[in-house]
């Protein structure tokens, strides 16, 4: 029964985490389109900060804790598909960290990327999710 609760919690928090990872780059696009130093830009700084602190940070922590507990419970550390999944989750975690750093840059008024690039970055979590779900469900190796 513990396995099912761990799995349910892991999936729930993966959904929260992924929602935040989809939403943050979109906020960046709107933020960069707002006039620099405007009230609108300040509102986006606050929205990005809240998304990072209230949704993304707690979600990534719970995803990692429950995911590692699941891996220990099921013996997944010895399975090839899990190593590949873990690699993608590490990359996605790095992407999360990069987004967090970019939010801080935007808050300081540094706009080093254009809207098109940010829109493309919005696809990263979706592509990672496709690969991760295939690895977990199909277990190709």
Residues in the annotated binding site for heme: 10, 85
Give the Cα separation of 79 and 95 in Å (integer): 25
- CA nearest neighbour of 12 among 52, 48, 62: 62
Quickly tell me which residue has 């809240």 as its tokens: 50
Predicted confidence at residue 57, as pLDDT, reads 98
| Burial grade of 80 (CB within 10 A; 0-12, 13-18, 19 or more) | exposed
Calculate Rg over the CA atoms of the chain: 17
pTM: 0.94
Quickly tell me which residue has 């190593």 as its tokens: 83
Please tell me the total count of domains within the chain.
1
Q: Which domain holds residue 8?
A: 2-138
Question: What tens-digit pLDDT sequence spans the chain (141 residues)?
Answer: 899 999 999 999 999 999 999 999 999 999 999 999 999 999 999 999 999 999 999 999 999 999 999 999 999 999 999 999 999 999 999 999 999 999 999 999 999 999 899 999 999 999 999 999 999 999 999
Residues in the annotated binding site: 10, 85
Give the Cα separation of 18 and 106 in Å (integer): 21
């Amino acid at each position: 029964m513990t396995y099912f609760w761990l799995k349910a919690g892991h999936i729930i928090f993966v959904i929260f985490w992924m929602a935040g990872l989809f939403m943050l780059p979109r906020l960046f696009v709107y933020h960069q389109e707002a006039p620099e130093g405007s009230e609108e830009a300040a509102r986006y700084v606050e929205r990005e900060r809240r998304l990072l602190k209230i949704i993304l940070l707690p979600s990534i922590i719970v995803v990692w804790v429950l995911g590692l507990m699941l891996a220990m419970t099921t013996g997944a550390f010895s399975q090839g598909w899990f190593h590949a999944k873990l690699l993608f989750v590490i990359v996605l975690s790095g992407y999360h960290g990069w987004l967090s750093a970019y939010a801080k840059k935007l808050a300081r008024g540094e706009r080093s990327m254009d809207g098109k690039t940010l829109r493309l970055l919005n696809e990263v979590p979706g592509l990672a999710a496709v690969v991760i779900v295939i690895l977990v469900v199909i277990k190709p190796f």
